[in-house]
Every structure is written in C-alpha cells, then in structure tokens.
Amino acid sequence: MKDQIRVLESALGRAIEFRIPRRGEALELVSMVKKTADHRLTDIASRVGSAMEDLNDVHYRLALERFPSRIECYDISHFQGEGTVASRVVFLDGRPEKDLYRRYHVREVTGVDDFGSLREVLGRRFENDQSLPDLVVIDGGKGQLSQAEAIFKELGVVGVDLVSIAKARTERDFGASEVKASFERIFKPGQKNPIMLKPATGAFRVLTQVRDEAHRFAITFHRKVRAKKRVSKRKSNNKD
C-alpha cells in the first residue's frame, strides 16, 4: 500500500493525507459508499457469471471446437436488390462490443446476389484483419451456411467455428385450433439436421440476441442509405 501511495504522490506532486472516519456523518458517508460499491460489484459479478453460463451453453449445445468468447454475426440487407449493405456485430464474452461493429457498402455486386454480397463483406473482413473470432454466425438457413463455407474455403479461413441461424417458422392450418411453430434453428457444416434452440436456454438467449442485433444494425444502416439517396435524387430533380 505504501508503494502505491508514493507513486500517487509522485504523480500528483504533493503529499497525500488519509483520514479514517470513526463516527458522525463522515463515517455514515463511507458506509453508504461501501454498501453501494458492494452492491455494484455483486451485480457485475452476477451478470458476468450469467453471461459465462450462457456461453457455456452455446459451446455445449453447438459442440463447438472453440469457446465462443468472440462472436461475430453478419447480415445482408437490401430492397429488391437495390442499395445492398451489410452489418457486422461483435459480442465479447456475451456482451455487445459496439466499438467493433462495422457497416459495409456492397459495391461489387448488383441486383439480388446474397452470395456475392457475403463474399465481398467476408473478404474485406478477413483479408484486411488477421484477428480471428471464435464463432461466426450468418443470418440465414442451410443455403447461406453453404455459401459461407465456400467463402471461408476460398479465403483460407481456418480455426473459426461457423454456423447459420434461421428464424422459427410458423405454420397454421386454418381448420385446426392451434398454430404450429418451430424452434429457432442452427445449421452447422457437415450436419444434415439443424440444432433446435429451445427458448429460455442460454444458447437461445445469446444467439438470437446476436442475430437480432446484426439485423437491427443492418436495417438501420440501409434505411439511412435509402433516405440519403432520396434526398440526393430530390435535389437533382429540383436543379433540373
């Protein structure tokens, strides 16, 4: 403790005096601050512990090679093939790391070409940044997973778990009284049948949150791009 105090005094350029209250308002204030700090630390420890339990569930249910400390999810967004954009969201230890989010303008692809769009986005990501995530999640079904597999092979990406997540399907027989709904489905390379994500499980919480966040981020960006184009077109028409 004395060494830390000396360092602090050296940094401040003056001596530091410590007072330990033993009664009165000062003691009550210290007690209140301590209780608040204890409560805050307990809350943080609880949330961290819960996130780790959820990630353990992802690791177990998906039988991943790596523990999913860093998860990246990609989503493609366009309107009838126009203004295609993409998003990447990153979760570290089960929590969104927004400083690592990325938006992409898809420039090399025209029309509806999700494979080409995904190839461009993943190429820009893995060719320009050699750091590897533990798990990459693609928004989509078995077809999107096959596309991502081919792209990984082409780019030489190894040592990264890859899955796709497809939304639950809802079917209704109007002659029946009940609506039939499937679970969220996870597709893995080399595995014919999807893994069903049951609600209220840790894997469900993590993977649906990651997917929904990527979708939200992509849609928000796409709307901004479309709005900007409308304004630009309006200005151009006014000049004419």
Longest dimension (CA), the chain: 83
Helix (H) or strand (E) holding 227: helix 202-239
Which of 145, 139, 133 has the alpha carbon at shortest distance from 193?
Answer: 145
Average of per-residue pLDDT values in the chain: 80
Confidence tier at 70 by pLDDT (50, 70, 90): very high
pLDDT beyond 80 at 28: no
- pTM above 0.85? no
Contacts with 212 (C-beta within 8 Å, 6 or more apart), sequence order = none
- Domain boundaries of the chain, sorted by first residue: 70-239
| Percent residues over pLDDT 70 in the chain | 72
pLDDT at 145: 93
Q: What is the mean pLDDT of residues 12-29?
A: 75
Measured distance CA(128)–CA(105) in Å, rounded: 16
Kindly give the pairing relationship between strand 161-166 and strand 135-139. Answer: parallel
Measured distance CA(217)–CA(5) in Å, rounded: 46
Six-digit token string for 206: 């993590």
The tens digit of pLDDT for each residue in 115-167 reads 888 899 999 999 887 789 999 999 888 889 999 999 999 999 999 999 999 98
Cα atoms in the Cβ-side hemisphere of radius 13 Å centred on 134 = 17
Measured distance CA(138)–CA(145) in Å, rounded: 7
Q: What is the mean pLDDT of residues 210-223?
A: 88
Confidence tier at 179 by pLDDT (50, 70, 90): very low
Of 7-21, 49-63, 93-107, the range with the lowest mean pLDDT is 7-21
pLDDT at 24: 76
Measured distance CA(226)–CA(84) in Å, rounded: 10
Q: What is the mean pLDDT of residues 210-215?
A: 92
CATH number of 70-239: 3.30.420.340
Confidence tier at 207 by pLDDT (50, 70, 90): very high
Question: How deeply is 219 buried, as exposed, middle or buried, from its count of CB atoms within 10 A (0-12, 13-18, 19+)?
Answer: middle
Confidence tier at 98 by pLDDT (50, 70, 90): very high
Look up tokens 């070409």; give the residue: 113
Residue type, 146: S
First-to-last CA distance in the chain?
75
Measured distance CA(53)–CA(59) in Å, rounded: 10
The tens digit of pLDDT for each residue in 158-178 reads 999 999 999 865 544 444 444
Of 24-28, 80-84, 137-141, 228-232, the range with the lowest mean pLDDT is 228-232
Contact 207, 197 (CB under 8 A): yes
Contact 197, 204 (CB under 8 A): yes
Kindly give the pairing relationship between strand 95-96 and strand 161-166. Answer: unpaired
Look up tokens 């461009």; give the residue: 120
